[in-house]
């Protein structure tokens, strides 16, 4: 061909190479455009789209409004290859969602054996517990998944010399139980602190309003009960805060303030859930179709199994606002609120009483550990312990009544369940 040379042939060749590169590059964008996010691609198990989106700079550990990272989303969908790719690209396999669930929790809930095996091979913690205190093994047992149970038991702490990691929630509950095992010792300590005894007696008298809200059914019982519980718990925490201030226990004062705020957040979620329930009931009475969507709970591409606590979306902090960690992690507080809200709209009042008591006692157990670390006088610990015993006694009275027993007024055994000793 006239004019055809080696140089012109090379130009054509390199031009084709450039076109192929451009086509490949644009092809990645086309693949990525099929999904609104890396999480969606991971949940679908689309390896090519995941690779393309990561190549474009998407964060492999980005959390969505459920708290899911892409590897958690891939685990939910049961896509072991996608999980493996994400781990190779730097995914944190022990990241947690807004309910404290790791990818292993989610994989267990959906029965994804291959995914769970891969996660364990890569170092996933089988002893990790979510904010409801459940491990992946607990979830597998609840769902009666025999293959996963065997897999997790073989990898569980205690097998092959591994050491167990205790659930922190249980640590704080156990701290509360230490006090409840010996109320007589508390009675003796109260006898040496007349001002504390008088304050607790006053709180015990006011607590009758909460008891009445528990045992007197009415059309507005759920709302009345919520207000009564919030009023009583706030009064008890303010009493502890006053004593902590007098004793110079600054860390305890700060944490009491956070506990009061935490109960505000928890019970706001209860209020939102009650309003949603009433809205649905009114719509049904008018013959209108009702939405099953719950307030503040995002739609999820794959519905969560009932054995897995659902993640609750939490507001992201501002650019200059630190996110609280530890006991007051927003995700933990949100999980508490969801747990209480679901119990509140249920028909089992005994279960609701148990949930409220468990959260309250866990709070007080935590507060006692904080006060103990400050090495304050016995007076502050006595105040916290007195509130613990009073609340435990109140729950016992409520439980007895709900089970058909005779109502026993607290003052018949002494306010808070002890008899006065000393002055």
Q: DSSP string spanning 340-408?
A: HHHHHTSS-HHHHHHHHHHHHHHHHHHHHHHHHHTT--HHHHHHHHHHHHHHHHHHHHHHHHHTT----
Question: Is residue 141 in a domain?
Answer: yes
Last residue of a domain, one of 131, 165, 199: 165
Rounded distance, CA 80 to CA 76, Å?
10
Instruction: State which H helix or E strand residue 7 sits in.
Output: helix 6-33
Question: Is residue 99 in a domain?
Answer: yes
Please check whether residues 126 and 263 belong to one and the same domain.
Answer: no
Going by C-alpha positions, the residue among 62, 157, 165, 148 that lies closest to residue 107 is 148
Please check whether residues 147 and 295 belong to one and the same domain.
Answer: no
Please check whether residues 75 and 190 belong to one and the same domain.
Answer: no
∠ Cα 100 89 162 (to 5°): 50
Span 23-75, pLDDT tens digits: 444 444 444 457 888 888 998 899 998 998 888 888 888 888 777 889 999 99
Rounded distance, CA 129 to CA 163, Å?
15
Please check whether residues 222 and 97 belong to one and the same domain.
Answer: no
Q: Between the CA atoms of 231, 234, 238 and 241, what dihedral angle is there, to the nearest 10 degrees?
A: 170
Please check whether residues 137 and 280 belong to one and the same domain.
Answer: no
* Residue 218 near residue 346, CB atoms below 8 Å: no
Would you state the structure tokens that stand for residue 200, as one six-digit string? 């607790």
Q: Between the CA atoms of 303, 307, 309 and 310, what dihedral angle is there, to the nearest 10 degrees?
A: 10
- Count of all residues that appear for the chain in the document: 423
- φ, ψ for residue 135, nearest 5 deg: -95, 165
* Global pTM value: 0.55
Please check whether residues 349 and 371 belong to one and the same domain.
Answer: yes
For residue 212, the model assigns a pLDDT of: 84
Q: Which residues contact 327 (CB under 8 A, 6 or more apart)?
A: 172, 255, 366
Last residue of a domain, one of 113, 139, 165: 165
Question: Is residue 18 in a domain?
Answer: no
Please check whether residues 38 and 87 belong to one and the same domain.
Answer: yes
State the DSSP code for 292: -
Domain ranges, residue 89: 34-165
Please check whether residues 87 and 180 belong to one and the same domain.
Answer: no
Q: Between the CA atoms of 53, 57, 59 and 60, what dihedral angle is there, to the nearest 10 degrees?
A: 50
Question: Is residue 6 in a domain?
Answer: no
CATH number at residue 56: 1.25.40.20
Rounded distance, CA 60 to CA 69, Å?
7
Please check whether residues 81 and 175 belong to one and the same domain.
Answer: no
Please check whether residues 80 and 109 belong to one and the same domain.
Answer: yes
pLDDT in tens, the chain (423 residues): 444 454 454 454 455 444 444 444 444 444 445 788 888 899 889 999 899 888 888 888 888 877 788 999 999 989 999 999 999 988 888 888 777 789 999 999 888 999 999 999 998 888 887 766 788 888 888 888 889 999 998 887 654 444 444 455 666 666 666 776 676 777 788 888 888 888 888 888 888 888 888 877 665 677 888 889 999 999 999 999 999 999 999 999 999 999 999 999 999 998 888 888 888 878 777 765 544 443 333 333 344 444 444 443 333 333 333 334 578 888 778 888 888 888 888 767 777 888 888 888 889 888 988 888 887 778 998 899 889 888 888 877 777 665 554 433 333 333 333 333 333
Going by C-alpha positions, the residue among 104, 173, 98 that lies closest to residue 138 is 104
* Residue 66 near residue 91, CB atoms below 8 Å: no
Please check whether residues 94 and 233 belong to one and the same domain.
Answer: no
Cα–Cα distances (Å) from 222 to 47, 266, 277, in that order, read 49, 15, 11
Question: CA 223: distance to chain centroid?
Answer: 23
For residue 239, the model assigns a pLDDT of: 94
Going by C-alpha positions, the residue among 336, 335, 356 that lies closest to residue 214 is 356
Question: Is residue 13 in a domain?
Answer: no
Question: Is residue 102 in a domain?
Answer: yes
- How many domains, the chain? 2
Last residue of a domain, one of 165, 192, 213: 165
Question: Is residue 7 in a domain?
Answer: no
Please check whether residues 236 and 362 belong to one and the same domain.
Answer: yes
Question: Is residue 27 in a domain?
Answer: no
């Amino acid at each position: 061909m006239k004019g055809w040379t080696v140089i012109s042939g090379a130009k054509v060749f390199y031009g084709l190479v450039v076109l192929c590169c451009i086509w490949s590059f644009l092809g990645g964008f086309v693949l990525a455009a099929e999904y609104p996010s890396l999480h969606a691609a991971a949940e679908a198990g689309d390896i090519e789209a995941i690779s393309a989106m990561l190549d474009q700079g998407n964060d492999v550990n980005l959390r969505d409004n459920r708290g899911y990272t892409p590897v958690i989303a891939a685990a939910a969908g049961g896509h072991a290859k996608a999980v493996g790719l994400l781990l190779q690209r730097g995914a944190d396999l022990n990241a947690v969602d807004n309910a404290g669930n790791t990818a292993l929790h989610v994989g267990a809930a959906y029965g994804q054996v291959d995914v769970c095996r891969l996660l364990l091979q890569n170092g996933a913690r089988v002893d990790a517990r979510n904010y409801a205190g459940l491990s992946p093994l607990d979830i597998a047992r609840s769902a009666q998944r025999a293959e996963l149970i065997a897999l997790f038991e073989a990898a569980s702490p205690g097998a092959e010399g591994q050491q167990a990691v205790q659930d922190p929630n249980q640590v704080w509950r156990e701290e509360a139980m230490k006090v409840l095992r010996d109320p007589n010792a508390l009675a003796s300590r109260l006898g040496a602190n007349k001002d504390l005894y008088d304050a607790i007696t006053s709180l015990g008298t006011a607590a009758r309003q909460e008891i009445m809200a528990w045992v007197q059914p009415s059309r507005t019982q759920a709302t009345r009960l919520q207000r009564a519980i919030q009023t009583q718990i706030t009064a008890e925490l303010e009493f502890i805060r006053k004593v902590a201030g007098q004793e110079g226990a600054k860390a305890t004062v700060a944490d009491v303030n956070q506990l009061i705020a935490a109960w505000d957040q928890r019970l706001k979620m209860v209020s939102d859930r009650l309003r949603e329930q009433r809205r649905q009931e009114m719509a049904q009475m008018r013959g209108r179709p009702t939405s099953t969507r719950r307030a503040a709970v995002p739609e999820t591409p794959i519905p969560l199994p009932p054995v897995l606590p659902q993640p609750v979306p939490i507001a992201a902090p501002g650019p200059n606002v630190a996110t609280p960690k530890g006991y007051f992690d927003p995700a933990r507080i949100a999980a508490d609120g969801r747990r209480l809200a679901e119990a509140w709209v249920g028909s089992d009042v005994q279960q609701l009483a148990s949930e409220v008591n468990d959260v309250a006692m866990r709070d007080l157990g935590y507060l006692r550990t904080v006060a103990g670390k400050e090495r304050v006088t016995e007076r502050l610990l006595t105040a916290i312990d007195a509130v613990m015993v009073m609340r435990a006694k109140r729950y016992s009275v409520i439980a007895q009544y709900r089970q058909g027993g005779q109502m026993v007024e607290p003052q018949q055994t002494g306010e808070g369940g002890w008899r006065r000793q000393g002055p």
